[in-house]
């Protein structure tokens, strides 16, 4: 009986691909579950060592499964194509596709926000490009309708530039510091517009912003209302000002902003960017508790505790 080794090769390759996908899925699931446990602060102990260990193991398992799948596909598909069309033809086609993907990602692709998002403005200056060095196209006045189209990679003083649409069909760029959110939050905006703020704010910030009683933007509004003031931790005290500056002994030593994860957890984060000798403290901290008197931040397995000394004071 004649055995068709080609069919056996295809069957084997298919089994390896399916096995690799299953292994990758199991590993990714293990890593994701333990990562979520760490982020939510519900680890088995305060150090979170077990969760971190299982997360690393899961990531390694997922990596193994992914490599098995990719390597099998490459040898299977590439080998079959070379058999039918020859190495030179396959190499030219693959090279052309890779070049096209590079050109698209490098020069044509922008980070889209999905559907256009209505926003308000604090300053309606629209620029031709995402920088203050570009020409000013126009200066919009409220209540001009403004839609967010894309977020760019251009950052100025911690705030990104956004591509916006106005007057139905015109487009330009506005600095995120000059934009405010209405009903949908986008990281990089100044905060929630006064016209859309709740009459009665939350009295505390929830560790996750996907509670059925509020929207993610409600937690953003709460954080920006409750954080300004003078806070003390064991080593020193400093002020979070209304202007989003970090102040110590009347000196501005950094800036702060709040953002939310884009995944389903909607965890709330406090970005602290320090200047000069304080730069080593710069990081992104998860807010696990915030009320009128107490602030708890978490960075990995380490937690920091702050007590409010007073409301915002006047700085020079």
What tens-digit pLDDT sequence spans the chain (316 residues)? 443 434 446 777 788 888 888 998 998 888 888 777 766 556 666 667 887 888 899 899 989 988 988 888 777 777 777 777 777 777 787 778 877 777 766 555 455 566 889 999 999 999 999 999 999 999 998 778 899 999 999 999 999 999 999 987 899 999 999 999 998 999 999 999 988 888 766 667 765 544 444 577 888 888 899 899 999 987 788 899 999 999 988 899 999 999 988 666 678 899 999 999 989 889 999 898 888 889 988 887 777 888 988 765 443 3
Residue with tokens 């602030």: 295
Q: How far is the C-alpha of 196 from the C-alpha of 103, rounded, in Å?
A: 41
Name the token pair of 199. Answer: 């009459």
Give pLDDT, residue 264: 60
Contact 235, 260 (CB under 8 A): no
Q: How far is the C-alpha of 162 from the C-alpha of 148, rounded, in Å?
A: 7
**Which sign, positive or negative, has the C-alpha torsion 128, 134, 139, 145?**
positive
User: What is 216-310's CATH topology?
Assistant: Lipocalin (2.40.128)
Could you give the 3-state DSSP secondary structure of residue 152? Answer: strand
Domain ranges of the chain: 5-108, 111-191, 216-310
Give pLDDT, residue 45: 66
CB-CB neighbours of 229 under 10 Å: 19
Task: Tell me which CATH code domain 111-191 carries.
Answer: 2.30.30
Q: How far is the C-alpha of 121 from the C-alpha of 230, rounded, in Å?
A: 29
Q: How far is the C-alpha of 275 from the C-alpha of 287, rounded, in Å?
A: 22
Q: Do domains 111-191 and 216-310 have the same CATH topology?
A: no
Give pLDDT, residue 315: 39
Q: How far is the C-alpha of 117 from the C-alpha of 151, rounded, in Å?
A: 11
Phi, psi (degrees; rounded to nearest 5) at 38: -65, -45
Cβ-based neighbours of 256, under 8 Å, separated by 6 or more: 227, 240, 244, 245, 246, 270, 271, 272, 273
Contact 229, 239 (CB under 8 A): yes
Name the token pair of 120. Answer: 């308000």
Q: How far is the C-alpha of 128 from the C-alpha of 298, rounded, in Å?
A: 40
Give pLDDT, residue 17: 82
Distance of CA 20 to the CA centre of its chain: 29
Can you give the pTM of this predicted structure? Answer: 0.63
Q: How far is the C-alpha of 39 from the C-alpha of 51, rounded, in Å?
A: 10
Q: How far is the C-alpha of 110 from the C-alpha of 29, rounded, in Å?
A: 30
Phi, psi (degrees; rounded to nearest 5) at 216: -55, -40
């Amino acid at each position: 009986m004649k055995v068709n080794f080609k069919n056996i090769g295809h069957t084997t390759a298919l089994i390896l691909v399916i096995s690799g996908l299953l292994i990758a899925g199991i590993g990714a699931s293990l890593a994701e579950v333990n990562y979520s446990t760490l982020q939510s602060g519900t680890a088995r102990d305060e150090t979170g060592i077990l969760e971190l260990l299982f997360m690393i193991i899961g990531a390694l398992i997922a990596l193994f499964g992914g490599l098995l799948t990719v390597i099998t596909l490459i040898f299977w598909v590439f080998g079959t194509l070379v058999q039918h069309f020859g190495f030179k033809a396959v190499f030219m086609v693959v090279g052309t596709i890779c070049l096209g993907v590079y050109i698209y990602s490098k020069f044509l692709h922008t980070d889209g926000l999905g559907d256009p998002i209505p926003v308000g403005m604090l300053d309606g200056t629209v620029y031709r490009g995402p920088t203050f060095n570009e020409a000013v196209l126009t200066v919009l006045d409220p209540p001009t309708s403004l839609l967010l189209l894309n977020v760019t990679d251009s950052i100025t003083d911690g705030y990104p530039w956004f591509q916006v649409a106005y007057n139905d069909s015109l487009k330009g760029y506005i600095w995120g510091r000059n934009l405010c959110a209405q009903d949908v939050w986008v990281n990089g905006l100044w905060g929630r517009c006064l016209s859309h703020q709740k009459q009665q704010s939350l009295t505390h910030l929830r560790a996750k912003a996907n509670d059925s009683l509020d929207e993610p933007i409600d937690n953003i509004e709460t954080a920006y209302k409750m954080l300004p003031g003078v806070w003390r931790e064991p080593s020193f005290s400093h002020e979070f000002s209304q202007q989003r500056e970090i102040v110590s002994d009347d000196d501005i030593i950094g800036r702060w902003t709040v953002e939310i994860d884009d995944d389903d957890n909607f965890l709330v984060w406090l970005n602290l960017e320090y200047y000069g000798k304080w730069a080593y403290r710069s990081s992104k901290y998860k807010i696990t508790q915030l009320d009128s008197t107490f602030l708890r931040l978490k960075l990995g397995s380490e937690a920091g505790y702050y007590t409010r000394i007073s409301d915002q004071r006047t700085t020079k």
